Amino acid sequence: MEIKVQKNIMNRNNEIAAENRQRFIDDGIFTVNVLASPGAGKTSVLLKIIETIDGKIDMAILEGDIASQIDTDKIRKRGIPVMQINTGGGCHLDANMIRVSLSELKPAKNAIFLIENVGNLVCPSSHDLGENMKLLIASVPEGHDKPYKYTSMFAAADAIILNKTDLLPYIDFDKEVFYKGVHALKPDVPVFEMSCKTGDGVADFVNWLKDKRKLWQTQHTK
């Protein structure tokens, strides 16, 4: 019985995700679902993207957290439309939360819409939001073994950022082991090494993101 209820919930989530996806196509909104464990650097990466885009493309941000407005306050200071969803204990965002946020945020046509999901490497990977891509942020202090332990999350990622590379000299992080684990799950996934502290790797990633958006717009929008 419980399994049936769960199946119905997932079916409904997927229906709403499909509606969100259509809305994104209709309005040319390129949507990125940002996934990571707590503290990996999701908000820091969003701030770097905002800084690099520098107002040249409209943006909107949705912040998902169990509690608090902390991340929303950081984004709001940059003058970008932002909304906070507190799940009150829920470990992931769902498609309906995105639908509700769209009517409040009203992202501009052709905007980049970044969704910071709740920090964990388990549940968010299995909930389609209607996004164009899942961006996974791993970070050096978490260790090189994470692709071996959180396989569904790494397998679901369309792109991976390895953040906090400024800490590589201080932490036993074996990049070769990390990349081997990543590529065993997804041989072609792009991986961007980045430090939000020094800014290394930010421009390369944002250029790639802009190219992805352009390609998607030519393929999917009128």
Ligand X SMILES: Nc1nc2c(ncn2[C@@H]2O[C@H](COP(=O)(O)OP(=O)(O)O)[C@@H](O)[C@H]2O)c(=O)[nH]1
Binding of ligand X by 36 (CB under 6 A): yes
Question: Is residue 144 a contact partner of residue 44, using CB atoms and an 8 Å limit?
Answer: no
Q: Which is nearer to ligand X, 2 or 172 (CB)?
A: 172
Q: Which is nearer to ligand X, 169 or 187 (CB)?
A: 169
* CA angle centred on 180, ends 200 and 195, rounded to 5°: 15
Binding of Mg ion by 71 (CB under 5 A): yes
Taking CB atoms, the residue at the shortest distance from Mg ion is 43
Strand partners, 103: none
Output phi, psi for 194, to 5 deg. Answer: -150, 150
Pairwise CA distance, residues 183 & 2, whole Å? 36
Binding of ligand X by 164 (CB under 6 A): yes
Determine the interface stretch with ligand X among 16-24, 38-46, 97-105, 147-155 (rule: CB under 6 A).
38-46
Binding of Mg ion by 43 (CB under 5 A): yes
The residue to which tokens 């802009």 are assigned: 210
Binding of ligand X by 158 (CB under 6 A): no
Tell which residue, 17, 32, 41, has the closest CA to residue 200. 41
Q: Which is nearer to Mg ion, 16 or 59 (CB)?
A: 59
Give me the residues that bind Mg ion (CB under 5 A), please: 42-43, 71
